[in-house]
Amino acid sequence: MSEVNITLQAAYDLAFSCLTQHGCNDENAAAAAHRMIQAEGDKCHAHGLFRLPWYVGGVKSGRVNGSAQPTVNKLASSVVKVDGDNGFAPLAQKIAHGPLVDCARENGIAVLAITDMFHLAAMWPEVEALAEAGLCGIAVTASYPYVAPAGGIKALFGTNPMGFAWPRPDGPPLVFDQASSAIARGEIQIAARDGQRVPVTAGIGPDGQATTDPNVVLQGAQLGFGGYKGASLAMMVELLAGPLIGEFLSFEAEADDAGRGGPPKGGELIIAIDPARFGNPEHIIAHGEALFQEVLKQDGVRLPGDRRFKARELTKRDGIKIPESLYNEIMSLRV
Amino acid sequence: MSEVNITLQAAYDLAFSCLTQHGCNDENAAAAAHRMIQAEGDKCHAHGLFRLPWYVGGVKSGRVNGSAQPTVNKLASSVVKVDGDNGFAPLAQKIAHGPLVDCARENGIAVLAITDMFHLAAMWPEVEALAEAGLCGIAVTASYPYVAPAGGIKALFGTNPMGFAWPRPDGPPLVFDQASSAIARGEIQIAARDGQRVPVTAGIGPDGQATTDPNVVLQGAQLGFGGYKGASLAMMVELLAGPLIGEFLSFEAEADDAGRGGPPKGGELIIAIDPARFGNPEHIIAHGEALFQEVLKQDGVRLPGDRRFKARELTKRDGIKIPESLYNEIMSLRV
């Protein structure tokens, strides 16, 4: 597979110009492009420029508001709500970050409900930002019906990722971001694109039978990680990022899309916790380090997020590589 | 395996008298016995009378304060802290429930930190109680180092369960309670006791090799459910139920026990969210029902917790059955 090597800045400019040419205003395009390039910089290609055609398609079809002006409201002392004004998530997240941090610092814990928006990025950027502010963060969002409930064969839950971050005194925080499904939707799509197989735990065909063919899984249903337990988490995420905050369940997001093929409309729930309201924050963070030291004593064991942070250093220097086919697709999107 | 059939009341009396005879005061014994009998009533035998010898051992050794008087403090507007006074969790949980509910209703979200106590029960009772009060609940606790980090072979994390509950308008709430490990510690112990095998995903031997022998897993390490993702959740739980609230990590709890073989000392973190602070609670709960209806449309699919609620109806009528060997062990504990 031939690849094109470009700098992060060039990749950002490409995404930004593509989005503005198709109907995003500068503020929305900048936030969305930044999110895609963050993912590329960490070599999370499934959430990088790979998503750009989907972003563009959402705006072009008129489903997504490229000039969204998200608004912030307090629903209760510890509940911040951000209405995304029918735009992409990154601008709403950017606007919500400060009020969420303030609310968590004031009350010890706070919850952010982002509604009326389209989330098609990784989850780690928003929780990583909380940990950079000294807070512990948990974020969840639903998507489209991709995952079968435990014991079922029909896709109903989204891949419903959960992101978690914990502050560290030196260097980047402890961060993980993982789908409730055995593997991420984007990984299955990329396997299908590249003619690869997927693990047999990834999903089932429309007939409920096991398969390693990503195209058959895409027509059937993905499975939760670890079987029924991942499916339980997916259900929890549906409830928290859907009904609790007045947003779509994954199957409702699909119905709303009505076959237009855009990104899922829905909500995101983020919980932020301030260690400083539980005790001496330096002691608390140092105590976390004691756990990480024990983890790293074992041969060949890394902390979650470590691979991304290493990639981040490399791509700053070397730029990123994207498949030529994707590069050409993006270039053809430019008017 | 021959079994003894007793009523729930007889089982409660057995547990209560055993605990009071070995140093618990009435209040602590009642709360702990109630928790064990709740588990028996739902046919969660691994958290039922099976645990009684461990409870008794904890008090007899002097490690656990059988006359604990838990105290409640507010650390911040949305942070409730309960010091367990070195006793068993159930009394601290009982005392904490009201203040946590009030705090969540006032602020929309609240977090409870229970410290200085010994948790050896299932997690579902505390979150189920929150859902019965109309709240959504998430609870986590650490234990002893039983689970290897992703890619490692040495046990470091606890089995670190997460309980979740969501209110339903009719009948019992939606509740799940699942270990971060592939299977619960108690299930491996029971398999070892009964000469059964465990699934190959359950754990590894001290040499890091796969095994289905529960005794070898007990000497080696359990694995997270779904592999590295379950291990990530186990790490998250360590941080939330340990350092954040000023309590032991699982490996520190083991060091504190110092081979005395009692239950793990540590903490529990519970998050409660009040849907009524997000919108019309009836609409929110009805929207959750729309998801459950879709789940139940699929052949052979049950909701998490359903088996327990069905068992609860049966044991009210028929009583419970416990292995004769366990019954005899308990009878021998009585003075």
DSSP B213-226: -HHHHHHSEE-BTT
Q: Do A166 and B238 touch (CB under 8 A)?
A: no
Considering only CB atoms, B273 lies closest to which of A111, A136, A238, namely: A111
Contacting residues of B for A178, CB less than 8 Å apart? 229, 232
- Select the residue from A103, A154, A222, A239 to test the B interface by mutation, using most B Cβ atoms within 10 A: A239
CATH of A3-63+306-333, one of 1.10.1530.10, 3.20.20.70, 3.30.70.1560, 1.10.10.10: 1.10.1530.10
Whether B178 sits inside 8 A of A229 (CB atoms) is: yes
Q: Is the pLDDT of residue A21 over 80?
A: yes
Asked if B290 and A249 come within 8 Å (Cβ–Cβ), the reply is yes
- 3-state DSSP assignment of residue A278: coil
With CA atoms as reference, report the closest residue to B222 among B241, B255, B200.
B200
Find the DSSP H helices in B66-183.
89-107, 124-132
Dump pLDDT digits (tens) for A94-116: 999 999 999 999 999 999 999 99
| CA-to-CA dists, residue B70 to B43, B63, B84, B147, B248, angstroms | 29, 16, 4, 30, 18
Domain B3-63+305-333 annotated CATH 1.10.1530.10: yes
Nearest to B133 by CA among B99, B162, B163: B99
Contact list, B249 vs chain A (CB under 8 Å): 287, 290-291, 294
ipTM given for this complex:
0.96
What pLDDT does A277 receive? 98
Q: Write down the pTM of the prediction.
A: 0.97
Nearest-neighbour CA in chain A from B24: distance (Å): 30
For residue B78, the chain A residues in CB contact (below 8 A) are 77-78, 107-110
Sequence ranges of the domains in chain A: 3-63+306-333, 71-181+223-277
Question: Residue A154: pLDDT band by 50, 70, 90 thresholds?
Answer: very high
Beta-carbon contacts of B78 under 8 Å, excluding residues fewer than 6 positions away, are A77, A78, A107, A108, A109, A110, B103, B107, B109, B110, B111
Look over chain A and give the mean of its residue pLDDT values, rounded to a whole number: 95
Instruction: Tell me if A246 and B285 make a contact (CB, 8 A cut-off).
Output: no
First to last CA, chain A: 26
The percent of residues in chain A predicted with pLDDT above 70, rounded, is 100
CATH of segment(s) A71-181+223-277: 3.30.1370.60
* Residue A2 clears pLDDT 90, i.e. is over it: yes
User: Closest residue of B to A295, CA-based?
Assistant: B149
Do A77 and B107 count as a contact with CB atoms less than 8 A apart? Answer: yes
For residue A120, is pLDDT > 90? no
d(CA A198, CA A217): 9
Q: What is the pLDDT of residue A244?
A: 98
Q: What does the block give as tokens for B284?
A: 């929110």
Search chain A and give the residue with CA nearest B176. A232
Q: What is the mean pLDDT of each run of 10 residues along chain B (335 residues)?
A: 94 96 97 97 92 92 95 98 98 98 98 95 95 98 95 96 97 95 89 95 95 97 95 98 98 91 91 98 98 96 95 97 93 83
Pick from A133, A53, A58, A117: nearest CA to A84:
A117
Domains B3-63+305-333 and B182-222 share a fold: no
Q: Is the pLDDT of residue A78 over 80?
A: yes
Closest residue in B to A245 (Cα) is: B278
- What's the burial of A13, exposed, middle or buried (CB within 10 Å: 0-12/13-18/19+)? middle
Q: Is the pLDDT of residue A9 over 80?
A: yes
Q: Which CATH class is domain B71-180+226-277?
A: alpha beta
- Could you tell me the fold of the domain covering B182-222? Wheat Germ Agglutinin (Isolectin 2); domain 1 (3.30.60)
Contact residues for A23 (Cβ-Cβ < 8 A; gap 6+): A59, A60, A66, A67
Residue A254 has pLDDT above 90, yes or no: yes
* pLDDT band, residue A213 (cuts 50/70/90): very high
- The pLDDT assigned to A105 comes to 98
pLDDT digits (tens, 9 = 90+) for B166-219: 999 998 999 999 999 999 888 898 899 999 999 999 999 999 999 999 999 999
CB–CB of B109 and A151 under 8 A? no
Q: Which of A77, A136, A238 sits opposite B291 (nearest CB)?
A: A238
Closest alpha carbon to B200 in B182, B192, B213, B212:
B212
The pLDDT of residue B71: 98
Helix (H, G, I), strand (E, B) or coil at B314: helix
Positive or negative CA dihedral for A175, A177, A180, A183?
A: negative
